[in-house]
């Protein structure tokens, strides 16, 4: 992989991030929105690993380790919240969840 | 020009991500997500971060996505069949194209990112305690020396998440009766 | 020094923990097995301690570094110097016999498993304090001791008074420990280390060490039940009697004295002066208050307070070795007294009121003999164990020209003889005053054997036959005062002692005048009430209800007014309300993706601000 440079990895990470972002914006199912959020997080970790590799330093990779840990905890809580929401409202469509407006 | 494996996995990742965003069925979305995560893990491998790649597959593609699938099946909630409102679609497409263009410009043409390739560790970094290595051992060494406090906090965070999930998933009706 | 001996210390320290865990998990329902297991462990520990004491030539040092937090080192280690060796012997030896006694005393209890697991946990904690080589480790075990004491006082937790007493003991100890932990922080900041050995190298000077000594003293005040934190000890008698004997008379409260002797080099003259005066006052007051208690255990608890005061006074006079000597002797005779009281209570079918007893000398001869010998030791009759230490301390006060302490200690000695005589007269002499005392019976061998060993052998002979009874290695720190003690008619301490004994003899007659009643109460009800009333408790009650509660209510009112009212209602809710009024149509559509879009725009703006510079 002599020819793959830092910029290529960053480009991949950036595009992945943008795709996830678009998903967050257009999707209405909260679960899918949540998956898109996770995708954005993963894109960020990809950039971190790339920086870590090309700077010859381990710290970025260790940070990715923490990001994965936090993401796992976050997913558990977030899903529990979605389940609680589903129990109370009977739906996870974000369009139906606009009571904040009223 | 990047090498073939990178192009293959990058295309796989982006395609799977597109599947995640565009599919109407949440289960298909989840499958796309898993594929995208595996693609990212493969990219980790190409970056010599083997330990993180394995971790990514185990934690994300393994544990987290299984959790997602469980919840999806539990709720059984497909999207409503109607078309997306054109405003939403326009907003999404505009965001996508604008930001993609921005990303492409920033990383390919702006010259902000130096076009460095991987190579041997420069001599001035070879004695740094956190020098990049491929072994999981160096993770352990850093985690228990320089990053000991964050590690403890992360552990505590997991505990808090555990407690939080237990308390959240208790049936609110039964607690109301008590 | 050699590795196999530090290995023995590992066994001594961790064996009780393992046994406690095992009992708590597996032997909950099998109380009898747990009892014997725990007792066997206690004897094994005593044996191992004996081996360590007889094999180790000098100090035993062992240390392992667990972790580094910045400048601070978390270490785990043993430092068995002369003080620690003596304490190790006292704790392991006395505890073993009290374990055996507990088997008989707790025979009918339903929660034996929990009780003996608690005793083992206590053993683990107190041994940890004994061997610890740094302040942090001491503190951790100190708290563990507090916990096990709490757990054992609350053994009869279904009784309200026991639950309240355990809570009181715990909270009072926390007040003292607050000082302790602040002392730790000061120590760390000032010296940068918590190891005893390193600390001893620094000599305290200037203003901080006074604060440091005073703060560490707070921990001692709490644990050793010194004024003004003494209120918990008498209530702690709500626990089973062996617990009172082991924890609240022989070892735990003495751990405070041991701790002070261990960090004696950190004490400045000012702090020592405070300790001397407060200890001597405590000694005098505790002894006098013991005169106005009808509960045999509470009376003994006040006696313990008095003796702890005497030890504190010895510390304050600059004689830690005398304090340790008295701690050792006190452990023997006070454990006997409590065990004797336990035996009496057991024999009288859980009657604790001394006025309801009487005439037990004939019905419980072994218990009575041991109790009376321990009482004589308590009164410092020449050549009994207590005489060696107590007279030495009074003597030291006189020769140190500390006449205030001397006077107070003399009152304490007098009071000791008075309440001892009263106790013996009411419990063992005269005629039985109740049905229960009428039908009293001698206790089983598991209870009488410890009484004979601790009472008849050690309370009598621990002083003059030390070399036969205690491993020589353990007595290094107290050898000198022991050998110096001599019976001389010209010493003021001797005069104080003999006069006190005469007064005690008079008291023995005095308390026989009104059978079934307290003579002092009959003669002078006002004096009796003055002694019986718990002034400090009343003061705390007044403070809590009238001062602290008012202050808390005032602060709660401020909170309601300022935080909830001004900040919460007006500022925190007002600003968004005003903003929301202007932006409600455009920004707040109640749609998730709208909010997400704003977040993205905000992030891009921030990124542009940071990166485009």
Whether C405 has a pLDDT exceeding 60, the answer reads yes
Chain B: nearest CA to C547, how far in angstroms?
A: 37
Question: The dihedral of CA C20, C93, C441, C301: what is its sign?
Answer: negative
Are residues C34 and C117 in contact, defined by beta-carbon separation less than 8 angstroms? yes
The answer to the question of residue C567 being in a domain is: yes
Contact A101 C588 (CB under 8 A): yes
The answer to the question of residue B154 being in a domain is: yes
For residue C268, what are the CA distances in angstroms to C50, C209, C215?
Answer: 35, 7, 12
Q: Which of A24, A33, A100 has the CB atom closest to C590's CB atom?
A: A100
The answer to the question of residue B33 being in a domain is: yes
The answer to the question of residue A22 being in a domain is: no
Higher pLDDT, C184 or C469: C184
The answer to the question of residue C110 being in a domain is: no
CATH number at residue A32: 1.10.287.3510
Task: Determine the residue of chain A that is closest to C588 in CA distance.
Answer: A101
The answer to the question of residue A70 being in a domain is: yes
For residue B147, what are the CA distances in angstroms to B37, C48, C110?
Answer: 26, 42, 50
| Stretch among A93-102, C392-401, C538-547 having the lowest mean pLDDT | A93-102
Average pLDDT over residues B67-95: 78
Contact A95 C590 (CB under 8 A): no
Helix (H, G, I), strand (E, B) or coil at C161: helix
Q: Which of C591, C596, C600 has the CB atom closest to A98's CB atom?
A: C591
The answer to the question of residue B117 being in a domain is: no
HSE, CB side, 13 Å, CA atoms: give it for residue B64: 30
Are residues C142 and C187 in contact, defined by beta-carbon separation less than 8 angstroms? no
DSSP C483-501: HH----TTSHHHHHHHHHH
| Stretch among A79-88, C21-30, C325-334, C550-559 having the lowest mean pLDDT | C21-30
Query: What is the pLDDT, as a whole number, of residue A46?
Result: 93
DSSP C133-151: -BHHHHHHHHHHHHHHHHH
Task: Determine the residue of chain C that is closest to A93 in CA distance.
Answer: C592
Helix (H, G, I), strand (E, B) or coil at C263: coil
Contact B91 C597 (CB under 8 A): yes
Contact B88 C597 (CB under 8 A): no
C-alpha to C-alpha distance for C518 and C522, rounded to whole angstroms: 6
Structural domain count, chain A: 1
Q: Which two tokens stand for residue C552?
A: 């808390």
- What confidence tens digit (pLDDT) does each residue in B110-120 have? 777 776 666 66
Average pLDDT over residues A73-98: 83
Q: What is the DSSP letter of B120?
A: S
Helix (H, G, I), strand (E, B) or coil at C381: coil
Residue ranges making up the domain that contains A49 = 28-93
Q: Which two tokens stand for residue C609?
A: 């601000």
Structural domain count, chain B: 2
pLDDT band, residue A45 (cuts 50/70/90):
very high
pLDDT band, residue C245 (cuts 50/70/90):
confident
Whether C184 has a pLDDT exceeding 50, the answer reads yes
For residue C606, what are the CA distances in angstroms to A18, C202, C596, C611?
Answer: 17, 54, 15, 9
Average pLDDT over residues C76-95: 84
Q: Work out the mean pLDDT of chain C and round it to a whole number.
A: 81
Average pLDDT over residues C122-131: 89
C60 Rama sector, left if φ>0, alpha if ψ -120 to 50, beta otherwise: beta
In the block, residue with structure tokens 């263009």: B101
The answer to the question of residue A87 being in a domain is: yes
Whether A1 has a pLDDT exceeding 50, the answer reads no
Query: What is the pLDDT, as a whole number, of residue C4?
Result: 64
C-alpha to C-alpha distance for C23 and C39, rounded to whole angstroms: 12
Structural domain count, chain C: 1
Any chains having at least 3 CB pairs less than 8 A from chain A are B, C
Whether B95 has its CB under 8 Å from any CB of chain C: the answer is: yes
Average pLDDT over residues C385-407: 82
Contact B88 C600 (CB under 8 A): no
pLDDT band, residue B178 (cuts 50/70/90):
very low
Task: Determine the residue of chain A that is closest to C594 in CA distance.
Answer: A25
Are residues A31 and B75 in contact, defined by beta-carbon separation less than 8 angstroms? yes
Q: Work out the mean pLDDT of chain B and round it to a whole number.
A: 82
Residue C329: partners with Cβ closer than 8 Å, 6 or more residues away: C377, C385, C386, C388, C389, C390, C462, C463
C-alpha to C-alpha distance for C245 and C241, rounded to whole angstroms: 6
C-alpha to C-alpha distance for A60 and B132, rounded to whole angstroms: 10
- What confidence tens digit (pLDDT) does each residue in A48-59 have? 999 888 888 888
The answer to the question of residue C574 being in a domain is: yes
The answer to the question of residue B177 being in a domain is: no
Residue ranges making up the domain that contains B146 = 131-170
- What confidence tens digit (pLDDT) does each residue in C226-242 have? 878 888 888 888 888 88
Query: What is the pLDDT, as a whole number, of residue C483?
Result: 67
The answer to the question of residue B24 being in a domain is: yes
Q: What is the DSSP letter of C570?
A: I
Are residues C291 and C531 in contact, defined by beta-carbon separation less than 8 angstroms? yes
Q: Which residues does chain A have within 8 Å of residue C592's beta carbon, measured at their own beta carbons?
A: 30, 33, 94, 97
Residues of C (187-216) whose Cβ lies below 8 Å from B: none
Q: Which of B46, B80, B93 has the CB atom closest to A1's CB atom?
A: B46
The answer to the question of residue C22 being in a domain is: no
Residue ranges making up the domain that contains C570 = 538-611
Q: Is residue B71 located within the same domain as residue B140?
A: no
Whether C601 has its CB under 8 Å from any CB of chain B: the answer is: no
Closest CA relative to residue A7, chosen from B109, B14, B120, B45: B109
Residues of C (564-603) whose Cβ lies below 8 Å from A: 588-593, 596-597, 600
For residue A76, what are the CA distances in angstroms to A17, B26, B67, B157, B164?
Answer: 22, 18, 8, 12, 9
C-alpha to C-alpha distance for A19 and A39, rounded to whole angstroms: 8
């Amino acid at each position: 992989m002599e020819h793959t440079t830092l910029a290529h990895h960053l480009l991949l990470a950036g595009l992945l991030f943008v795709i996830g972002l678009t998903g967050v914006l257009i999707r209405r199912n909260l679960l899918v929105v949540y998956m898109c959020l996770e995708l954005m997080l993963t894109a960020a970790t990809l950039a971190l690993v790339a920086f870590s590799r090309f700077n010859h330093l381990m710290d970025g990779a260790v940070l990715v380790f923490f990001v994965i840990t936090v993401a796992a905890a976050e997913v558990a809580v977030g899903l529990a919240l979605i389940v609680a929401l589903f129990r109370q409202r009977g739906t996870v469509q974000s369009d139906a969840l606009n009571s904040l407006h009223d | 020009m990047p090498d073939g494996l990178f192009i293959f996995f990058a295309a796989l990742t982006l395609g799977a991500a597109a599947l995640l965003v565009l599919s109407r069925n949440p289960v298909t979305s989840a499958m796309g997500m898993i594929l995208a995560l595996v693609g990212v893990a493969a990219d980790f491998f190409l970056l010599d971060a083997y330990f993180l790649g394995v971790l990514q597959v185990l934690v994300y593609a393994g544990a987290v996505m299984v959790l997602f699938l469980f919840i999806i099946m539990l709720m059984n909630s497909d999207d409503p069949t109607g078309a997306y409102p054109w405003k939403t679609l326009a907003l999404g497409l505009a965001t996508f194209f604008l930001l993609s263009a921005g990303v492409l410009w920033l990383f390919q043409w702006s010259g902000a990112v130096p076009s460095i390739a991987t190579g041997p560790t420069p001599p001035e970094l070879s004695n740094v305690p956190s020098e990049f290595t491929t072994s999981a051992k160096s993770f352990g060494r850093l985690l228990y020396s320089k990053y000991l406090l964050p590690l403890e906090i992360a552990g505590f965070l997991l505990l808090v998440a555990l407690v939080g999930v237990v308390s959240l998933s208790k049936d609110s009706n039964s607690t109301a009766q008590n | 020094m050699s590795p196999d001996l530090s290995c023995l210390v590992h066994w001594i320290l961790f064996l009780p923990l393992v046994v406690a865990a095992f009992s708590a998990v597996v032997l909950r329902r099998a109380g009898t097995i747990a009892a014997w297991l725990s007792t066997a462990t206690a004897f094994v520990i005593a044996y191992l301690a004996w081996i360590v004491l007889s094999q180790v030539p000098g100090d035993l040092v062992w240390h392992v570094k667990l972790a580094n937090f910045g400048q601070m080192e978390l270490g785990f280690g043993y430092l068995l110097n002369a003080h620690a060796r003596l304490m190790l012997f006292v704790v392991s030896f006395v505890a073993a016999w009290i374990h055996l006694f507990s088997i008989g005393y707790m025979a009918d209890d339903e929660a034996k498993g929990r009780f003996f697991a608690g005793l083992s946990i206590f053993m683990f904690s107190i041994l940890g304090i004994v061997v610890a080589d740094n302040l942090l480790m001491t503190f951790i075990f100190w708290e563990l001791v507090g916990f096990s004491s709490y757990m054992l006082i609350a053994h009869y937790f279904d009784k309200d008074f026991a639950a309240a007493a355990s809570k009181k003991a715990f909270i009072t100890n926390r007040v003292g420990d607050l000082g302790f932990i602040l002392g730790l922080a000061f120590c760390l900041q000032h010296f940068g280390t918590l190891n005893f050995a390193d600390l001893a190298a620094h000599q305290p000077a200037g203003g901080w060490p006074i604060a440091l000594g005073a703060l560490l003293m707070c921990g001692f005040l709490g644990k050793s039940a010194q004024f003004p934190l003494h209120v918990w000890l008498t209530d702690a008698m709500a626990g089973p009697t062996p617990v009172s004997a082991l924890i609240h008379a022989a070892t735990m409260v003495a751990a405070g004295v041991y701790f002070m002797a261990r960090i004696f080099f950190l004490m400045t003259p000012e702090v020592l002066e405070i300790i001397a005066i407060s200890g001597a006052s405590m000694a005098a007051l505790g002894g006098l208050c013991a005169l106005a208690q009808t509960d045999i255990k509470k009376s003994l608890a006040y006696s313990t307070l008095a003796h702890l005061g005497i030890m504190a006074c010895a510390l304050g006079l600059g004689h830690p070795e005398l304090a340790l000597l008295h701690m050792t002797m006190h452990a023997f005779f006070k454990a006997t007294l409590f065990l004797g009281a336990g035996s009496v209570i057991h024999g009288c079918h859980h009657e604790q009121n001394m006025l309801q007893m009487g005439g037990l000398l004939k019905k419980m001869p072994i218990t009575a003999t041991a109790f009376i010998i321990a009482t004589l030791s308590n009164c410092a009759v020449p050549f009994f164990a207590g005489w060696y230490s107590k007279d030495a301390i009074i003597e030291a006060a006189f020769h140190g020209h500390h006449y205030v302490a001397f006077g107070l200690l003399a009152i304490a000695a007098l009071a000791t003889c008075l309440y001892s005589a009263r106790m013996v007269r009411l419990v063992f002499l005269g005629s039985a005053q109740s049905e229960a005392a009428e039908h009293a019976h001698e206790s089983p061998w598991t209870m009488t054997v410890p009484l004979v060993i601790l009472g008849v052998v050690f309370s009598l002979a621990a002083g003059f036959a030390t070399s036969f009874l205690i491993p020589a290695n353990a007595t290094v720190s107290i050898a000198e005062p022991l050998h110096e003690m001599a019976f001389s008619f010209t010493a003021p301490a001797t005069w104080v002692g003999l006069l006190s004994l005469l007064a005690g003899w008079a008291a023995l007659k005095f308390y026989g005048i009104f059978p079934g009643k307290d003579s002092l109460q009959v003669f002078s009800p006002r004096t009796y009430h003055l002694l019986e009333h718990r002034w400090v408790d009343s003061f705390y009650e007044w403070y809590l209800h009238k001062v602290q509660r008012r202050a808390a209510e005032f602060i709660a009112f401020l909170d309601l007014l300022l935080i909830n009212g001004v900040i919460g209602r007006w500022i925190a809710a007002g600003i968004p309300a005003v903003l929301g009024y202007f932006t409600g149509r455009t920004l707040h559509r109640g749609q998730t993706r709208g909010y997400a879009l704003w977040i993205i725009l905000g992030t891009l703006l921030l990124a542009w601000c940071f990166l485009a510079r």
